[in-house]
Amino acid sequence: MAIRVLHVATGNVGRIALSQLIEDPRFELAGLVVSDPAKVGRDAGDLAGLGTVTGVTATGDLDAALAAARPDCTTYCAIGETRLREALADIERILASGSNVAASSPVPLIYPWGLLPDRMIDPIEKACEAGGTSLFASGVDPGWVNDLLPFAIASTCQRVEQVRCSEIADYATYDGGPVMFDFMGFGRPLDDLPRMFEPGILAASWGVSLRMMARGFGFELDDITESYEREPAPEAFDVAAGHIPAGGVAAMRFQITGVSAGKEVLVIDHTTRLRGDLRPDWPRPAQDGGSYRLEITGEPSYRVDVCPTSAKGDHNHAAIAAGAGRIVNAIPDVVAAPPGLRTPLDLPFNTARGVFAAALPR
Under a CB-based contact definition with an 8 Å cutoff, are residues 340 and 128 in contact?
A: yes
Strands 159-170 and 290-299: antiparallel
Under a CB-based contact definition with an 8 Å cutoff, are residues 135 and 101 in contact?
A: yes
Q: Count CA atoms closer than 13 A to 253's CA, side-chain side.
A: 14
- The predicted model gives 110-131 an average pLDDT of 96
Cα–Cα dist 352/59, whole Å: 31
What ranges do the domains of the chain cover?
3-137+319-359, 144-307
Per DSSP, helices labelled H in the chain are 12-23, 44-47, 62-69, 84-96, 118-131, 148-154, 177, 201-217, 315-336
Residue pLDDT, tens place only, 325-360: 999 999 999 999 999 999 999 999 988 888 886 555
Question: Out of 3.40.140.10, 2.40.50.140, 3.40.50.1100, 3.40.50.720, which CATH number does the structure's domain 3-137+319-359 have?
Answer: 3.40.50.720
Question: b/e per residue, 34-48, with b = 16+ CB within 10 A?
Answer: bbeeebeeebbbbbb
| CATH of span 144-307 | 3.30.360
**Is 77 strand, coil or helix?**
coil
Supply the DSSP symbol for 348: P
Cα–Cα dist 31/67, whole Å: 10
Q: Count CA atoms closer than 13 A to 104's CA, side-chain side.
A: 30
- The predicted model gives 191-215 an average pLDDT of 94
Residue pLDDT, tens place only, 76-88: 999 887 788 999 9
pTM tops 0.85: yes
Residue pLDDT, tens place only, 157-201: 999 999 999 999 999 999 888 889 999 999 999 999 999 999 999
